[in-house]
Chains A and B, each alone.
Chain A
């Protein structure tokens, strides 16, 4: 199979998956009693008014009709209108996505640094002090709920020590031009150094919380895969030839463990998105995760569905990228 046809097949295979996710979420949400009209007007407006509004929003149509209306919308790029704010869900997600992306990128950097370097080093010194600490670390952080960890960090660094802000994304006084929505990048673009410092301070606690918690699995995987590679003959040979540690470890062992490590990296990125739901809620971070929690509370169906479609697309895209990169690196994957 050529690379191009592999990519095309991979994308076509992803389509029914997205459809199924959409269907599952759509019907799950429709089983819940209650709808957004009730959430807003319940107990206030006369019942006739409520029924009329339901009719206007198409909430009294059969569920299956609503489902196909919705699918038609998604195909044309219309994720619907939030019943809570009357805005296009796509617009709302677009507003909030940069926050989540920024948090995810910074957490991911933390995950990468900890995972790759510590993982490789402890594989090199298997069963020595550093390795044992790494294993304890990954066991322990795996067992810590991300929201609790966030609370504890908040308590120590924001409440008691007051080094860092409690929550939010930017100070009221900081004012630079928002272009990309990634505040760090925007501050850099407008050369507002004080603003940069400000947004970095807000970013610190949430990204450390998320990054450390997610790093535990990645660290372990990198270590295990590197250990495996270090036991392979060609690595042993390289070692025997007297090559420097840096070259043997990173040039041979880690590089040859690339496919599994890269696959896990992709999965960890997806895990970061899920972790973002609880982290964003803990730190008032105005991203997609806290958006979803808020919208579930109000049963804002179009918004919840839109967010889920968004999550699904994002994850599918990541898994496609992983497969493609792996196929590029290791042609055997294609078959």
Chain B
């Protein structure tokens, strides 16, 4: 027993624990956080983000230019990058990979297929892409793993890859026992700097309590995703005693209530406004998230350009007044169902629903009935308009405010999120913003959009997520990036 623990202190490798699962390591089908993050550590992408920031930097694409009509992008590809078997990465590899994404139509394929019209190889190291419409956030989309090239020699052309792809990034995969562990070792053929720790072992756990125990007992060096907020606070309090350090960062994840504007009583804009006054965000972030998550008053997260606190503050009095105007009182209360889904957003969801119920019922003129459904049933219910008021979350596909307003407030987007909101004025504002490059101009447009949000209330933003990581004190190099890319290759162990 003791010899095992000593072995775990070896500096040659770091053991990471997680409760996430790897679904697939084929970029053409990979659409969940943890799988993408593994890919970000074993594959090189067309663009990358500057360490510690959300600023896009050239990576496999050295530079690019946009035609005057905004429809044609020309990319120059870095020379000397290759896969672990020595296959060079050139324009043909990119064309092959992207056309494969479009052909196989995997889960994230719509990110490319929505906007790309045609892909052409201009010469060995130049790629030309024609878009279907002007889209100022296109290069941001290329930061997602769906656009990462794969090795044509080692990837099935007409079906998804079952195992691990050949590496082109800092690490390669040397062992993968599904849901048990995956082992990353330094990739000698990588063009960038070699990782500081030559070997990373990632172990999978079923729940956060086990993850915490594993860290406390020295079974793992780093716990990354998903520790319960209370456990995080506990560990933080006992940092020096346990020899553990807790890292906290921001997250672009937002959580909100969707209001189905077509379903009575929510088709009444007063009712929706009442809800936006009556919800108590602070009690949720405090009780459930121990103040780690922050209350959010707009769909665009705090700290992003164009964010304004558009929604009203918690105000029971105003809520009661509007309720009276709409004809509701304690003798004739507004009866509503509030829905949540128990496992998709972690174990805290039921608590959130119960606190929301409590805060809405503070008005004494609302009666809330809590209901729940498992995730895929939940999705069916919101797509077909069964649910009137329900909790949902959003994780951006590309880091641009566009991804926080277009999917929600455009008519087609609102349909696929169950609010069925439609307002041509808002739609035009967002279209306009997609066509201009200047951030200042776009900021003005998005501010107007957010004011419409507060007025029509098809969504009630509740809080903004946070990122966290807990590690032994001898581990350094942990950076919780605003992009959420967890870079194993910058970790160090003393």
Contact = CB atoms under 8 A, between A and B. Distances in A.
**Direct touch of chains A and B (CB < 8 A):** yes
A299 B392 contact: no
B210 A284 contact: yes
B123 interface: no
Contacts of B24: 85-86
A298 B110 contact: no
Instruction: With a 10 A CB-CB cut-off, give which of A41, A44, A96, A283 has the most chain B CB atoms.
Output: A44
Given A39-B375, A158-B217, A46 B383 contact: no
B324 to A, nearest CB: 35
A167 B205 contact: yes
Contacts of B209: 166
B180 A170 contact: yes
B214 A167 contact: yes
A166 B219 contact: yes
Interface in A44-87: 44-47, 49-50, 52-53, 56, 84-87
Contacts of B210: 166-168, 283-284
Nearest to B377: A34
A268 to B, nearest CB: 25
A92 B178 contact: yes
Interface stretch (B46-54, B90-98, B412-420): B412-420
Contact of A56 (B10, B105, B383, B416): B105
A265 to B, nearest CB: 30
Contacts of B351: none
A171 B219 contact: yes
B375 A284 contact: no
Instruction: With a 10 A CB-CB cut-off, give which of B204, B209, B376 has the most chain A CB atoms.
Output: B376
Nearest to B412: A46
A56 B178 CA distance: 26
A171 B416 contact: no
B374 interface: yes
Interface string B197-218: 0000101111101100110010
Interface in A268-316: 281-284, 286, 290-291, 294, 296-299
A87 B379 CA distance: 24
B470 to A, nearest CB: 15
Given A45-B110, A46-B416, A168-B203, A32 B377 contact: yes
Contacts of A294: 21
Given A34-B374, A286-B204, A43 B382 contact: yes
Interface in A171-222: 171-174, 178, 194, 197-198, 201
B178 A95 contact: yes
Interface string B11-37: 001010000010110100101000000
A297 B13 CA distance: 33
A297 B220 CA distance: 27
B8 interface: yes
A36 interface: yes
Interface in B416-465: 416-418
A281 B206 contact: yes
A83 B375 CA distance: 15
Contacts of B213: 154, 158-159, 166-167
Contacts of A168: 180, 203-205, 210, 214, 219
Nearest to B180: A286
Interface string B346-380: 00000000000000000000000000011111111
Contact of A178 (B177, B397, B418): B177
B379 A38 contact: yes
A311 to B, nearest CB: 19
A38 B380 contact: yes
A40 interface: yes
B78 interface: no
B205 A33 contact: no
Given A92-B178, A170-B180, A165 B214 contact: yes
A156 B379 CA distance: 40
Nearest to B374: A297
Contacts of A172: 8, 13, 15, 181, 201, 203, 219-220
A284 B177 contact: no
A313 to B, nearest CB: 22
B107 A41 contact: yes
A40 B203 contact: no
A173 to B, nearest CB: 4
Nearest to A169: B180
Contact of B206 (A38, A84, A290): A290
B420 to A, nearest CB: 12
A162 B217 contact: yes
B8 A173 contact: yes
A49 B412 CA distance: 12
14 contacts: A32-B377, A46-B416, A56-B105, A86-B29, A165-B217, A166-B210, A167-B206, A168-B210, A172-B181, A172-B219, A173-B4, A296-B374, A298-B376, A299-B374
Interface of B: 1, 3-4, 7-8, 10, 13, 15, 21, 23-24, 26, 29, 31, 105, 107, 109-110, 114, 160, 162, 177-181, 201, 203-207, 209-210, 213-214, 217, 219-220, 343, 373-383, 392, 394, 397, 407, 412-413, 415-418
Interface of A: 32-36, 38-47, 49-50, 52-53, 56, 84-87, 92, 95-96, 154, 158-159, 162, 165-174, 178, 194, 197-198, 201, 281-284, 286, 290-291, 294, 296-299
Given A33-B376, A49-B110, A178-B177, 5 more contacts: A34-B377, A43-B379, A85-B23, A168-B214, A297-B343
